[in-house]
C-alpha cells in the first residue's frame, strides 16, 4: 500500500495510544509465531502460497516479498522462509483492483470521517473487497491441484472461503470473526475484552503439540 499503508498505520497508532499500540505489536508477533508453528510440520514442497496484495508469483513475487520483509513485515518474513524451504508463491490478485483500492484509501484519508466523500469511499471499499475476494478465490480454484496444500494469507476484512470450490477442504488457522473482534477491541473496546482476544491469538504450538 506504500504511503497510504504507512498513513493508515500512523492514524491507528495515534487513535489507540502508545500503550495499547505496543501491546498490539506484541500480539501481532505472537500471532505470526503461531502461524509459523502451525505450518512447521508440513512438507514445504507441497505448500502453494497465496498472498493478498500479490499480483505476481514465482521469482518476481519473491522480490516483492523480499522488499516487504526488509521493511519489517512479519507476514512477508514468514513467506520468504517458506519459499526458501521449497514452497511456491503464486499470483493471487489483479493488479488493477489493487491500484483502485490504493486510490480509494488515499481519498478516504484525505477527507473528514463524516464527509460524503468518505462515505462514498467506504461503499467503494466494500465493492472492491468483494471483487478482490472473488479474484483471490478464482486464483486458488484455478491453480491448486490435487495433493497440493494451499496456504492463503489474507486480511480479516476478506471473506474468500465462501467463493472457493466445494471440493477444496478449508481449515482456518484463526477464525475471521475472532480477528475482526480483536481489531474492533483494539480501536474502541474494553481493555478486558482486548486482553482476552489477544490471548486467543497468542502462540498455541504446532498441530498435535497443544
Helices 95-110 and 116-143: crossing angle in degrees, nearest 10, is: 160
3-class DSSP assignment, residue 48: strand
pTM: 0.83
> Which secondary structure element, helix H or strand E, spans residue 49, and what is its range?
strand 47-51
Q: Which residues contact 179 (CB under 8 A, 6 or more apart)?
A: 156, 201
pLDDT tens per residue across span 2-35: 344 455 565 666 666 777 778 778 888 888 998 9
The larger pLDDT score, comparing residue 26 to residue 150, is at 150
Asked whether the beta carbons of 101 and 135 are under 8 A apart, the reply is no
Instruction: Give residue 73's pLDDT.
Output: 92
3-class DSSP assignment, residue 78: helix
pLDDT above 90 (res 45): yes
Instruction: Give residue 12's pLDDT.
Output: 66
Instruction: Give residue 190's pLDDT.
Output: 67
Q: Which residues contact 82 (CB under 8 A, 6 or more apart)?
A: 39, 44, 47, 49, 151
The proportion of the chain whose per-residue pLDDT surpasses 90, expressed as a percent, equals: 56
pLDDT tens per residue across span 51-84: 999 999 999 999 999 999 999 999 999 999 999 9
Amino acid at each position: 500500500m506504500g504511503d497510504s499503508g504507512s498513513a493508515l498505520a500512523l492514524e491507528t497508532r495515534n487513535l489507540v495510544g502508545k500503550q495499547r499500540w505496543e501491546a498490539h505489536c506484541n500480539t501481532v508477533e505472537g500471532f505470526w509465531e503461531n502461524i509459523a508453528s502451525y505450518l512447521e510440520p508440513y512438507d514445504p514442497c507441497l505448500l502453494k502460497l497465496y498472498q493478498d496484495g500479490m499480483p505476481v508469483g514465482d521469482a518476481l513475487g519473491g522480490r516483492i516479498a523480499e522488499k516487504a520483509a526488509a521493511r519489517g513485515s512479519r507476514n512477508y518474513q514468514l513467506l520468504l522462509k517458506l519459499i526458501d524451504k521449497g514452497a511456491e508463491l503464486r499470483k493471487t490478485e489483479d493488479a488493477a483492483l489493487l491500484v483502485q483500492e490504493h486510490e480509494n484509501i488515499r481519498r478516504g484519508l484525505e477527507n473528514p470521517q463524516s464527509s460524503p466523500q468518505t462515505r462514498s469511499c467506504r461503499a467503494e471499499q466494500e465493492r472492491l473487497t468483494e471483487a478482490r475476494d472473488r479474484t483471490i478465490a478464482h486464483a486458488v480454484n484455478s491453480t491448486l491441484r490435487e495433493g497440493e496444500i494451499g496456504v492463503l494469507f489474507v486480511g480479516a476484512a476478506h471473506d474468500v472461503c465462501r467463493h472457493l470450490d466445494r471440493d477444496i477442504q478449508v481449515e482456518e488457522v484463526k477464525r475471521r470473526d475472532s480477528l475482526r473482534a480483536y481489531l474492533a477491541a483494539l480501536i474502541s473496546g474494553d481493555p478486558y475484552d482486548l486482553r482476552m482476544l489477544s490471548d486467543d491469538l497468542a502462540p498455541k504450538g504446532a498441530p498435535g503439540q497443544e
